[in-house]
Chain A
Amino acid sequence: MTTATAVLETRRPMPGMGVYNMKLGMWVFLLSEVMFFTSLIGAYIILRAAHPDAFAEPGVVLNVPLTAFNTFVLICSSVTMVKAFAAIEHGDQAGLKRWLIATALLGMFFVGVQVVEYIKLAEHGFVPATAAYAAAGGPLYGVTFYTMTGFHGAHVSIGVLCLWFTVFQAFRGRYTREKHGGVEIMGLYWHFVDLVWIILFTIVYLI
């Protein structure tokens, strides 16, 4: 298979859905992720409704200003990601690299802030699976909080690794104006992670 044929195979729309294979595959994966996070959020809502006294009010235990700032960072990273995609759509190689690196750095910053948040919470005794922080709400609060934010953090961390791989590929000149499916797929994943955080931030930190 020649490179040109490979390009065509990658970008050719599926007869049924009207999008190319890689993009359809990523969407199917993201839909499975919707169900995964729904199960986590659903479990949280149900547990909170059943045991309202086991959960602290917003801002009592969790650092809302710090997390709001982190939310802003993740939203910024979505902008830089979409800017990278727009750059390569117009054949701007330098812009692609610049915006991809910015996205990866913002993603790393988000994870770093989350780690700092975990450390601060642990210093105050808010850790999962112990009774020491019962005064802060109860064991259910910690377990659900760390499960949801932890899984999201894992997704961001994996996304950062994939972003650096995308940066590496960009520097190798693997993306062009005509062939940039990898950047688009990466962007879909990254925006999904941002979208999930928008929901999580509201449900876990503000409600």
Chain B
Amino acid sequence: MQTHTPSGNAMLDPAADPTIPVPERPTPRYMLVFLGLFILTIIELGVAFVGLSRIMTIVALIVLAIYKAVLVALYYMHLRFEPTRLRVAVLAPLPLAFILVLAVLTEF
């Protein structure tokens, strides 16, 4: 809402101004995400020491870690509720990071 002072200068009332973006996203169930992260961490510990084959252990642990990281990014960092353009921008360095590791790995 814009009000006008006697001098004619526009004053903005941030508490009522509809042009100031107030978050409209639904509030995620933070404790549910926390429970998920906790359970996934327990599963990780189990996978690490249960005696699976080396390859299976590595693949399972990496998948679990990525899943946990995605949960944090989507719900705690609210990436799920951000504009698509920002999400694309955030994802942009991931292929570059992959290329960085892959390119150096080929040296061996």
Instruction: Write the B66-108 contact mask toward A (1 if CB under 8 angstroms, else 0).
Output: 0011001100110000110110011011101100110011011
Contact of B45 among A50, A75, A206, A207 (CB under 8 A): A206
Contact of A58 among B48, B83, B97 (CB under 8 A): B48
Q: Which of chain A's residues have a CB closer than 8 A to the CB of B83?
A: 17-19
On whether A198 and B58 interact (CB within 8 A), knowing A4-B11, A20-B21, A31-B93, the answer reads no
Q: Which of chain B's residues have a CB closer than 8 A to the CB of A59?
A: 48-49
For residue A42, CB closer than 8 A to chain B, the reply is: yes
Do residues A50 and B108 form an inter-chain contact, with CB atoms below 8 A?
Answer: yes
Instruction: Write the A183-207 contact mask toward B (1 if CB under 8 angstroms, else 0).
Output: 0000110011011001101110011
Q: How many residues of chain B get a CB closer than 8 Å to chain A's CBs?
A: 52
Contact of B86 among A17, A42, A81, A207 (CB under 8 A): A17
Contact of A192 among B58, B77, B97 (CB under 8 A): B77
The CA of A16 and the CA of B38, in the complex, are separated in Å by 37
Q: Which of chain B's residues have a CB closer than 8 A to the CB of A8?
A: 12, 14, 17, 19-20
Do residues B72 and A2 form an inter-chain contact, with CB atoms below 8 A?
Answer: no
Q: Which of chain B's residues have a CB closer than 8 A to the CB of A5?
A: 12
The CA of A20 and the CA of B33, in the complex, are separated in Å by 26
Q: How far is the CB of A163 from chain B (nearest CB, A)?
A: 15
Do residues B105 and A34 form an inter-chain contact, with CB atoms below 8 A?
Answer: no
Contact of A35 among B41, B48, B77, B100 (CB under 8 A): B100
Contact of B101 among A7, A45, A206 (CB under 8 A): A45
Mark out the residues of chain A between 33 and 49 whose CB falls within 8 Å of any chain B CB in the assembled complex. 34-35, 38-39, 41-43, 45-46, 49
For residue A93, CB closer than 8 A to chain B, the reply is: no
Of the A-B pairs whose beta carbons lie under 8 Å apart in the complex, a sample of 21, sorted by A's number, is A4-B14, A8-B14, A11-B20, A12-B19, A13-B21, A18-B82, A18-B83, A35-B96, A42-B100, A42-B101, A46-B105, A46-B108, A72-B38, A72-B41, A86-B27, A178-B14, A179-B14, A191-B77, A195-B77, A206-B48, A207-B58
A residues at B contact (CB < 8 Å): 2, 4-5, 7-8, 11-13, 16-20, 24, 27, 31, 34-35, 38-39, 41-43, 45-46, 49-50, 58-59, 64, 68, 71-72, 75-76, 78-79, 81-83, 86, 89, 176-179, 187-188, 191-192, 194-195, 198-199, 201-203, 206-207
16 new A-B contacts, CB < 8 A, other than A191-B76, A195-B77, are A2-B11, A2-B12, A19-B83, A31-B92, A34-B94, A34-B97, A42-B104, A49-B105, A68-B41, A75-B38, A178-B15, A192-B77, A198-B69, A199-B69, A202-B61, A206-B47
- Name the 8 nearest CB pairs between A and B, nearest first: A18-B83, A42-B101, A202-B65, A38-B97, A4-B12, A206-B48, A7-B14, A191-B76
